[in-house]
Amino acid sequence: MTRSERTSYSLREIVERFGGEIAGDPDIRVRQVATLENANSDAIAFLANDRYLARLDTTRAGAVIVGKSARAATRLPRILCANPYAYFARVSALFNPEREPRPGVHAAAVVDASAAIAGDAEIGPFAVIGRNVRIGAGSVIGAGCRVGDDARVGSGARLLPNVTVYHDCVIGDRVILHSGVVIGADGFGIAMDEGRWLKVPQIGRVVIGDDVEIGANTTVDRGALDDTVIEEGVKLDNQIQVAHNVRIGAHTAIAAFVGIAGSAKIGRGCRIGGASRIAGHLTIADHVEISTCTLITKSIAQPGTYTGAYPFEPNSEWRKNAAQLRHLHELVERVRALEKKPAQPKRRKS
Amino acid sequence: MTRSERTSYSLREIVERFGGEIAGDPDIRVRQVATLENANSDAIAFLANDRYLARLDTTRAGAVIVGKSARAATRLPRILCANPYAYFARVSALFNPEREPRPGVHAAAVVDASAAIAGDAEIGPFAVIGRNVRIGAGSVIGAGCRVGDDARVGSGARLLPNVTVYHDCVIGDRVILHSGVVIGADGFGIAMDEGRWLKVPQIGRVVIGDDVEIGANTTVDRGALDDTVIEEGVKLDNQIQVAHNVRIGAHTAIAAFVGIAGSAKIGRGCRIGGASRIAGHLTIADHVEISTCTLITKSIAQPGTYTGAYPFEPNSEWRKNAAQLRHLHELVERVRALEKKPAQPKRRKS
Amino acid sequence: MTRSERTSYSLREIVERFGGEIAGDPDIRVRQVATLENANSDAIAFLANDRYLARLDTTRAGAVIVGKSARAATRLPRILCANPYAYFARVSALFNPEREPRPGVHAAAVVDASAAIAGDAEIGPFAVIGRNVRIGAGSVIGAGCRVGDDARVGSGARLLPNVTVYHDCVIGDRVILHSGVVIGADGFGIAMDEGRWLKVPQIGRVVIGDDVEIGANTTVDRGALDDTVIEEGVKLDNQIQVAHNVRIGAHTAIAAFVGIAGSAKIGRGCRIGGASRIAGHLTIADHVEISTCTLITKSIAQPGTYTGAYPFEPNSEWRKNAAQLRHLHELVERVRALEKKPAQPKRRKS
């Protein structure tokens, strides 16, 4: 899986960079990260969840990153830290740096003469860069990307191959857009007029803050009149749909297939499980968690976890229960009728 | 947000084009549309929903489009009309005309010699146009689009960048296909044969009527034997899946993430909420509304609104209720048993 | 719909290839497959479901493929076989062969000098083939496809236009990837660190076995550390999301919009209905069927069919029932209270 000889680091060198405490031999050298199950002796693994503690006994990893409470859980050389998963992320980024941009515009790209491309940016083959586009320092525009007229891409951004950015949109610094992402397509604005739909021009933009990452085939529609806004640090998984005039607050993370309908406002630091739906024109407070497959139909003012998914069962059980669900209201009436029956003789006496 | 100096229009000029009645100064000039909240004095806003009446008091818009019932709701120069949202759509289209095609085939496009491209059509860079393809007058084929052999695109159509149209498909006049749309990929036709799946060739086409708009990353599969058909005026949002041999009736509007399984027939003038699913081989009558997140498992013969979404709750409440849902059938039995208990003494006497 | 003159075959010739038994004239010649409703006299149709038996009376097909039990159901020339739908698939493939590759690299493709492309493979216009890529014999890489560094594509594979394969991924023999598919984008790996998300590098690959077909706009993420694996013969419909480190067992078929969260293991020979969701880190046994729109939140150890979809109703009914669903737990308590009431006088006496 490696494309080049990797540099090795001792635990001591790692701790000098990222902090933490070493238990065991500080001069052990590792050159890659791995899972506890599949690590070799030149790899460092991590334990972020005590559920997997037993794996420490069988791993062949050369070293591990663990929480301070796991200090005595293994004799392996180890780094003790407060947040093993975040620590691991840093170590992995050290071992697996992003590919460097190859500065320059590929001969097979089409770049409008009015575009301003930073000298050290990379524009891949078959990319198309429109009028007045600005691309910042060190950004990589992958093969086959389209960046529409008057759009702006910050510095250090990476557009993987086959990304489409419509005209006028704004992409912040260090933003990552994966293949198939479409930013700024027209929102679903239609007006019924005597049996036919009229298109409502979508003249807002999409504005994406710094350090946002957007997964493959996700779509973010441009605003109808005002802008659609994704604030800094938001992380979107694959195949999400963000409708026109949505605002997503900073550092919110959203899993695959989530749909956010028009003009919904999502708070900061929210976590939204896969395939959930947020109805239009709602407001979701900061730090709200929404479970997988949940439809949110009303604004949420309080942090907390909200859920609304049908529990699965063997089909034969589901059939019986789901059939009754269609009569739940009647069942409530029947219980009410039973409750209204006269009290029992014994109870009367008591 | 504007890319050129805009022409201004007086209310009088607007009403001459689109009808309606002016209250206030007819010579007020506006040059853009905007929301009531963010309009400047050179913009015209609209009020389509009385819920937002109070915004008329605070808007800085130069003029507004309102329903006739709101005649006295503001002193702003205003256009009174029967359908403010549709009226607004027309005014916005006047201020925000589509970019004109730039006739000609880009030097970096690959167009088969047998293709018939209208003289005033625009074929963008890196587009690939197959054998015997026909592209009608004034159509725009964006950068990186693929139009397969024997496909046909009508006049006045717009394929935004990175659209794929497979061989033999038919795209009507004035159709808009947003980036990432895939028209005519193989339907999911597989036959089980002794533990392995055999591919069933998909030899039907996709036929898309006039004035259809299809949102980013939506997929419409070709028919297995007969065609998949989307009738005129249908509006599809982003990331919709239309399976093989579906037919969608004219002027139906469908929101994001809706999945329509094979051979389902959707009527005319339907409205289908986001993330709903229509099972295969069903028939949905004309003018049916389906709510968000609803799974339709049986044909619907009557117009009306149909719904089937689990209501969301705080997770702790949901846990308690969802657990009981798995015992609903038993609960019904328990209520039945209670109902069968002998009648109360008092009731017997009465 | 046909792009060339088709060869005709007699029933006798068909049976010589594929087995089965002829009833009626074995010299009848057919040249295309069709549905019973729309067949002409030069077409052969099929009946795989007794529900459609009556269509045998009205079809204009020249011949039909039926099960042995339908031997006497028609006087049309017919082929009797054990599995009419699989038989039909083979006949259709005979009449509708895949387009032959046009060997060679298009002049407008960009292929790295280190890539190894089989001599009879086809590389379409605007394709980009990275360093050390290997493309096997007879494979077709469509227009605008991107195959990243060190990726491998087997023999006889077909990448339709605008497919993206990230670096290091492995695509088996005879794999079909439809337009818009993205293989190997980064999984959704993020670590919370003092209010900000850190990206966790995704260094695993995607490994796709032989004879897999993947529908338009489906995404399969690369593994975080180990690989994401799709075993041989798996069939994925459009717009599916396969998260990092998922494993899908051989010959499993999955319908559109299914989402499989990270590290879930799906067994062999499973069938998963559209828009279902599999939560992360679960194990699903072989030969499990999951119904449409079902959220699987726990591992499934036994084959069988599992379901969890809310039944739809007219909206007015749904409103009443869904409102009560939020009080189901209380209803159970009320029934419990009724059950605890003292027994009826009559019952006491009995």
Active-site residue, C244 included: yes
In a domain, A275, yes or no: yes
Residues in B closer than 8 angstroms to C125, CB to CB, are 110, 126, 128
Do A268 and A293 lie in one domain? The reply is yes
Contact criterion met (CB < 8 Å) for B188 and C3: no
In a domain, C4, yes or no: no
Is a pLDDT exceeding 90 seen at residue B349? no
Best mutation site among B307, B312, B348, B349 for testing chain C: the one with the most C CBs within 10 Å? Answer: B307
Do B283 and B158 lie in one domain? The reply is yes
Helices (H), chain A: 11-18, 55-58, 84-95, 315-325, 328-340, 345-349
- Measured between alpha carbons, how far is B95 from B62 in angstroms, rounded to an integer? 15
Is a pLDDT exceeding 70 seen at residue B333? yes
How many domains is chain C partitioned into structurally? 3
Residues in A closer than 8 angstroms to B213, CB to CB, are 186, 190, 199
Q: Considering B71, B95, B119, which residue would you say is the last residue of a domain?
A: B95
What are B329's two structure tokens?
A: 């059938």
In a domain, C271, yes or no: yes
CA distance A75 to chain B (A): 40
Q: Domain limits at B13?
A: 9-95
Q: Residue B332, by phi and psi: left (phi above 0), alpha (psi -120 to 50) or beta?
A: alpha
Considering only CB atoms, C195 lies closest to which of A35, A251, A256, namely A251
CB pairs under 8 A between A and B: 239
Do C57 and C203 lie in one domain? The reply is no
> How do residues A147-178 score in pLDDT, each as one tens digit?
999 999 999 999 999 999 999 999 999 999 99
The CATH number of the domain holding residue B32 is: 3.40.1390.10
In a domain, B3, yes or no: no
In a domain, C1, yes or no: no
Choose the catalytic residue: C178, C244, C251, C287. Answer: C244
CA distance A223 to chain B (A): 11
As a whole number, mean pLDDT of residues B79-87 equals 97
Residue of C nearest to A37 (CA): C226
Alpha-carbon distance values, C257 to A240, B219, C223 (Å): 12, 11, 20
Choose the catalytic residue: B167, B178, B244, B251. Answer: B244
Residues in C closer than 8 angstroms to B180, CB to CB, are 180, 217
Do B333 and B279 lie in one domain? The reply is no
**String of b and e for B299-309 (b: at least 16 CB within 10 Å)?**
ebeeeeebbbb
Angle between the B84-95 and B11-18 helix axes, to the nearest 10 degrees? 110
- Measured between alpha carbons, how far is C49 from A115 in angstroms, rounded to an integer? 61
pLDDT of residue B339: 93
Look-up: residue for tokens 């739809």? C312
Mean pLDDT, each 10-residue run in order, chain C (350 residues)? 69 98 97 95 94 93 95 95 97 94 97 97 98 98 98 98 98 98 98 96 98 98 97 98 98 98 98 98 98 98 97 97 96 94 54
Which long-range CB contacts under 8 A does C270-274 form with residues at least 24 apart?
C274/B241, C274/B259, C274/B261, C274/B277, C274/C237
SS3 category, A88: helix
Do C154 and C16 lie in one domain? The reply is no
| Mean pLDDT, rounded, of chain B | 95
What are A54's two structure tokens?
A: 């037993």
CA distance A314 to chain C (A): 4
Considering only CB atoms, B180 lies closest to which of A164, A198, A310, namely A164
> How do residues B50-61 score in pLDDT, each as one tens digit?
889 999 999 999
Is a pLDDT exceeding 60 seen at residue B126? yes
- With 0-12 / 13-18 / 19 or more C-beta atoms within 10 angstroms meaning exposed / middle / buried, residue A194 is exposed
Residues in A closer than 8 angstroms to C147, CB to CB, are none
Considering only CB atoms, A241 lies closest to which of B1, B239, B323, namely B239
Contact criterion met (CB < 8 Å) for B204 and C125: no
pLDDT of residue A50: 87
CA distance A159 to chain C (A): 12
Residues in A closer than 8 angstroms to C189, CB to CB, are 89
In a domain, B217, yes or no: yes
Do A62 and A127 lie in one domain? The reply is no
In a domain, A3, yes or no: no
Which H or E element spans position C315?
Answer: helix C315-325
Do A125 and A216 lie in one domain? The reply is yes
Helices (H), C5-73: 11-18, 55-58
SS3 category, A81: strand
Q: Considering B38, B68, B95, which residue would you say is the last residue of a domain?
A: B95
**String of b and e for C166-178 (b: at least 16 CB within 10 Å)?**
bbbbbbbbbbbbb
Do C76 and C165 lie in one domain? The reply is no
Residues in B closer than 8 angstroms to A304, CB to CB, are 314-315
- Measured between alpha carbons, how far is B48 from C59 in angstroms, rounded to an integer? 53
Do B91 and B112 lie in one domain? The reply is no
| Mean pLDDT, rounded, of chain A | 95
pLDDT of residue C5: 63
> How do residues A41-69 score in pLDDT, each as one tens digit?
999 999 988 889 999 999 999 999 999 99
> How do residues B193-218 score in pLDDT, each as one tens digit?
999 999 999 999 999 999 999 999 99
* Interface predicted TM-score of the whole assembly (ipTM), two decimals: 0.95
Do C69 and C146 lie in one domain? The reply is no
Best mutation site among A145, A146, A325 for testing chain B: the one with the most B CBs within 10 Å? Answer: A146
Best mutation site among B37, B110, B163, B310 for testing chain A: the one with the most A CBs within 10 Å? Answer: B310
Q: Considering C69, C95, C121, which residue would you say is the last residue of a domain?
A: C95
CA distance B84 to chain A (A): 9
Residues in A closer than 8 angstroms to B211, CB to CB, are 196
The CATH number of the domain holding residue C226 is: 2.160.10.10
The strand pair at C283-284 and A140-141 is best described as unpaired
> What DSSP designation does A92 have?
H
Do A211 and A175 lie in one domain? The reply is yes
Contact criterion met (CB < 8 Å) for B312 and A320: no
Neighbours of chain A (3+ CB pairs under 8 A): B, C
Contact criterion met (CB < 8 Å) for C325 and B321: yes
Residue of B nearest to C239 (CA): B241
CA distance B195 to chain A (A): 23
- What percent of chain A has a predicted confidence (pLDDT) above 90? 93
> How do residues B127-186 score in pLDDT, each as one tens digit?
999 999 999 999 999 999 999 999 999 999 999 999 999 999 999 999 999 999 999 999
Alpha-carbon distance values, C179 to B263, C144, C155, C183 (Å): 22, 10, 19, 12
pLDDT of residue A114: 98
Mean pLDDT, each 10-residue run in order, chain A (350 residues)? 69 98 97 95 94 94 95 95 97 94 97 97 98 98 98 98 98 98 98 96 98 98 97 98 98 98 98 98 98 98 97 97 96 94 54
- Report the Cα B290 to chain-centroid distance in Å: 14
- What is the identity of the amino acid at A90? R
Contact criterion met (CB < 8 Å) for B310 and C312: no
Do A195 and A287 lie in one domain? The reply is yes
In a domain, B252, yes or no: yes
Residue of C nearest to A84 (CA): C191
